Amino acid sequence: MSSTEFNNLLMGNADFLRPYAITLTKDSESAKDLYQETLYRALANREKYLAGTNIRAWLYTIMRNIFINNYRRGNRQYRLLDNAMGEFLLHHQQPAIGNYAENGLRVKDVHMAIYNLPSIFKQPFLLYYEGYKYYEIAVILNEPLGTVKSRIHFARKMLKSRITRY
């Protein structure tokens, strides 16, 4: 396939990428960047496209892979620039020094709130809190799955209303 044929085929199918880019990024500016990067990579790798195959699927795959790689790269490089202290890079997720006495009080409040839940909500919530899956809790309690999910939901709701924020 000549480069003119490929370019015509690419431009004829490129408009379908814009909505997909917006779906992935949820931001119009990021979507434009993703769209342009996808077209650039498609042009740079035109020799890898097999004539007669689905070009839309090929372009969607390129776009999805770029998005995933950028997302992973962004997680690794999540740093803030501190202008106050000589422009040092600070890692965003630094551990903070906490007040252990205050944290102990919070944990006690949470445990007390859980203990004071009605038993119909407390039992499924404690099992969920211990790491059981919804379907496992349903089997253990011999209850329908929807009932277990709703009881855990209402238990969370009650806990949110009972536990005050510090």
Report CA-CA distances (Å) from 17 to 1, 34, 56, 139.
22, 9, 8, 45
pTM above 0.85, yes or no: no
Instruction: For residue 132, give the CATH number of its domain.
Output: 1.10.10.10
Mean pLDDT of 6-35: 86
Q: State the total domains in the chain.
A: 2
Q: What confidence score (pLDDT) does residue 120 get?
A: 92
Residue 96 lies in a domain: no
Q: Per residue in 110-139, is it b (16+ CB within 10 Å) or e — as a string?
A: eeebbeebeeebbbbbbbbeeebeeeebbe
Instruction: Look up the CATH number of the domain holding residue 54.
Output: 1.10.1740.10
Domain assignment present for residue 38? The answer is: yes
* Per-residue pLDDT at 83 exceeds 60: no
Alpha-carbon distance values, 124 to 114, 130, 148, 160, 163 (Å):
11, 10, 7, 17, 19
> Is residue 42 over pLDDT 50?
yes
Q: What confidence category does residue 155 fall into, taking pLDDT thresholds of 50, 70 and 90?
A: very high
Confidence at residue 105, expressed as pLDDT on a 0 to 100 scale: 58
Classify residue 27: in a domain, yes or no: yes
Range of the domain at 48: 3-81
Question: Is 95 inside a domain boundary?
Answer: no
Residue 89 lies in a domain: no
What pLDDT sits at residue 145? 92
Strand pairing report for 88-91 and 79-82: antiparallel
The residue-averaged pLDDT of 63-75 equals 82
In the predicted structure, residue 53 carries a pLDDT above the cut 70: yes
Residue 149 has pLDDT above 90, yes or no: yes
User: Do residues 74 and 33 both lie within one domain?
Assistant: yes
